[in-house]
Structure 1
Amino acid sequence: HGSKKGNKIIIDIETPCEKIKKFSHMEVPMTEILDIKNNYVIDKAQEANCSSNCLVPCAVLNLCRLESGFLARSLAKKAERLSIEFKDV
């Protein structure tokens, strides 16, 4: 869940994952989500020892960009839902 409050994006994540729980509540400064290398969300994910293939930090960044207006809601609505499917070969 995410919502804009002043110049921050408030993030709350419900998860059974112990690593994600370590940063499941964040107040992300809007100015610290634009750079992919040096940003608040990635820093918190690194502190929690998330693996490099964890999708949650990327999802949180996209949520922050939506809530802050850096990513158009109309563009996100066109996609409706993003998913990764694993098929047995």
Structure 2
Amino acid sequence: MTEITVNSTICGFTHKIRGSMKGDKIIVDIETPCEKIKKFSHMEIPMMETLDIKNNYVIDRAQEAQCSSNCLVPCAVLNLCKLESGFMAKSLAKKAGSISIEFNNT
């Protein structure tokens, strides 16, 4: 089981994303106050449909829910999928602690 917290400071929402590998799918649940994210808050994601950005299960669900292109949740879900499927080491994620975007000189 992997758990990720997304602090979307621009829109003011905090999202809890939890997921675990079951067979060849990653089961993901998102606890969120955002109505758009709620539209895809439970997914059974085929592991092999997260590798490419163009034909990507998570990005397709976010697009269907009309998420903003700067929404951090789809990216966080993809990172969770990489962790659960073993394509990214959990020790690396733990060492990094977080990922951030800083707006400099705006």
**Rounded Cα–Cα distance in structure 2 between residues aligned with 1:27 and 1:51:** 22
Q: Which has the higher strand share?
A: 2
Alignment of 1:10-89 (within 5 A): 10-84=27-101
CA RMSD of superposed structures (Å):
1.5
Structure 2 unmatched ranges of 5 or more: 1-17
TM-score of the pair, normalised by structure 2: 0.77
TM-score of the pair, normalised by structure 1: 0.91
Q: Which has the higher helix share?
A: 1
2:20 corresponds in structure 1 to 3
Provide, for residues 37-70 of structure 1, a one-character-per-residue CA deviation record: whole Å limited to 9, x for no partner.
Answer: 2100000000000010000000000000100001
Structure 1 unmatched ranges of 5 or more: none
> Which is further off, 73-82 or 41-50?
73-82
TM superposition shift of 1:74: 1.5
TM superposition shift of 1:86: 6.6
Aligned residues: 88
**Rounded Cα–Cα distance in structure 1 between residues aligned with 2:48 and 2:89:** 17
**Rounded Cα–Cα distance in structure 1 between residues aligned with 2:103 and 2:29:** 27
